[in-house]
Amino acid sequence: MTCKIVQGYVITPIELGKGCFGTVYRGYVKDNKNELLAVKTIPLETIKNEEIVRREIEILMKLKSPNIVRFYKPAKTAKHLYFFLEYCQQDLKTYVKSKGGRLSET
């Protein structure tokens, strides 16, 4: 995969993770390479129920918390659905491990 531009965001071939429904790549804002983000890519052919995806987008757009990864916006092309998300320097598992394996409730 080479870099791809979708709605003002550049999606790089650097894979951050993979799940049942798609792959997450590192990306950045086209006009600012220092503004990193995570881009979840979901092949449209794997989406069985569009209503579930619509609800997920609605919920993600409403969530505003410093403890939840920020959802910027969705985008759709002929073959993929993209979720543009806040980029985190480390994953939750690594963070928890760095805190001794536990986090306080607060």
Is 106 a member of any domain?
A: no
pLDDT tens digit sequence for 72-102: 999 999 999 999 999 998 888 888 999 999 9
- Provide the pLDDT confidence category of residue 49 given band limits of 50, 70 and 90: confident
Is 105 a member of any domain?
A: no
Q: What's the confidence (pLDDT) of residue 83?
A: 96
**Which token pair is 87?**
């980029």
How far apart are the C-alpha atoms of 88 and 79, rounded to whole Å? Answer: 26
Is 34 a member of any domain?
A: yes
Which domain range does residue 47 map to? Answer: 4-98
Is 62 a member of any domain?
A: yes
What does the pLDDT average to over 44-51? 90
Is 56 a member of any domain?
A: yes
Residue 1 has pLDDT above 80, yes or no: no
pLDDT tens digit sequence for 16-30: 999 888 999 999 999
Counted domains in the chain: 1
CA quadruple 5, 64, 103, 56: dihedral positive or negative?
negative
